[in-house]
Amino acid sequence: MKITNILVAGHYEDVFRKHFSSTNLYKLRFIPVDEITDEDFDWADAYVGFMPTPQFQLSKLKWVHSFNAGVNNFLEIDGWIENGVLLTRTICSFGQRISEYCLSYVLKELQHQKFFEEKQREKKWVRKPPIMIKEQTIVIFGTGEIGQEVARTFTQFGATVYGVSRSGEQKEYFQSVTTIFDASKVLSKADWVISTLPFTKETDNLFNKELFNHFNHAAFINVGRGKTVDEIALIDALNKGKIRHAVLDVVAVEPLPSDSPLWERKDVTITPHISAITDLDEAVTCFIETLHQIEQDIVPPNKVDVKKGY
């Protein structure tokens, strides 16, 4: 596939020019997403950005590259298969960043940080033995690049790690992988349940009352997509003790509305979708690597299966 004209949604000239400084093979336009016109789409071979424009002209493009790992905002546009447009996503240090995020909250509990902070305020010298990660059972929903990196991190500390995926295909770093339909078999064992799932038709409100009923006082960490969780069912599961604590880096509506009951709960920790913030240098490097693969007719590893949604 020959790519010449690249439409970049945003003012990222400096970082792009730094990486494209050695070649004149490509022409680039840097335009804010809400200022892109039909003429820009007529000109472009490829579109690069965090999100589509309000009037996205998919049929005029050969290739779309998302600066995010998730692509559900692009997949809301119809016509990918009919128009034969390639969709790719960013692969960089997302897995490591998300692993460190998850690890930090697991360690916070196992090392009793909240307990010792309270005792310090009370000026009391009280011992409480930490719990080791190797004593923990962790179930990870999603066994792709990010899920595998999370599994690798916890496996290195000796945890027992199970995976849950659409296919149930066995993957490295997991003791075993089961399908979503058989998830109940491992959920009852879990001390921690971590979701790295993308948002698709199949994962829409996947974490519902029925699934939460299989939790056995586990902690739940969501670093995937907010719309995979039925938040009413989540609150109910917290109230019933099925979930002892929820760490939510993503929620169904972002920013989380001020009237959401999740804000007020002591058994919920909310962060503003920061577990894997895109590093622009990494993202542009990934884009360039993908561009070179496409021009050599190599199927890039970050190609999105538009039927599956990831």
Confidence at 22, pLDDT banded by 50, 70, 90: low
Q: Give, in degrees to the nearest 5, the angle at Cα 226 between 224 and 231.
A: 130
Task: Determine the pLDDT at residue 118.
Answer: 98
Instruction: Say yes or no: 120 and 244 in one domain.
Output: yes
The answer to whether residues 43 and 121 belong to one domain is no
Q: What's the rounded Cα separation, in Å, for the pair 298 and 278?
A: 25
Residue 21's pLDDT band (boundaries 50, 70, 90)? Answer: low
In a domain, 307, yes or no: no
C-alpha 254/C-alpha 219 separation (Å) is 22
Is 304 contained in some domain?
no
- Contact, 83 vs 59, CB < 8 A? yes
What per-residue confidence (pLDDT) applies to 25?
82
| pLDDT confidence bin for 19, thresholds 50/70/90 | confident
247 and 177, same structural domain? yes
CATH number at residue 88: 3.40.50.720
Residue 301 falls inside a structural domain: no
Residue 105 lies in a domain: yes
Q: What is the model's pLDDT at position 24?
A: 72
Write the pLDDT tens digit of every residue in 242-289: 999 999 999 999 999 999 999 999 999 999 999 999 999 999 999 999
Can you tell me whether residue 58 is helix, strand or coil?
helix
175 and 258 co-located in one domain: yes
- Would 286 be classed as within a structural domain? yes
**Cβ 229 vs Cβ 201: under 8 Å:** no
Query: 229 and 169 in one domain?
Result: yes
One domain for residues 154 and 22 = no
Domain co-membership, 226 together with 102: yes
* pTM (predicted TM-score): 0.92
Question: How far is the C-alpha of 77 from the C-alpha of 59, rounded, in Å?
Answer: 11
In a domain, 197, yes or no: yes
- Helix residue ranges per DSSP H, 54-93: 72-75, 80-83
Q: Do 175 and 104 share a structural domain?
A: yes
Question: Is the domain of 253 the same as that of 104?
Answer: yes
Same domain as 33, residue 104: no
* Number of other residues whose CB lies within 10 A of the CB of residue 307: 9
The verdict on residue 29 lying in a domain is yes
Same domain flag for 32 and 157: no
Res 23 pLDDT > 70: no
Work out the mean pLDDT of the chain and round it to a whole number: 96
Domain that residue 287 falls in: 5-92+278-295
Same domain flag for 56 and 198? no
Number of domains in the chain: 2
**Is 310 inside a domain boundary?**
no
Q: Which residues are catalytic?
A: 225, 273
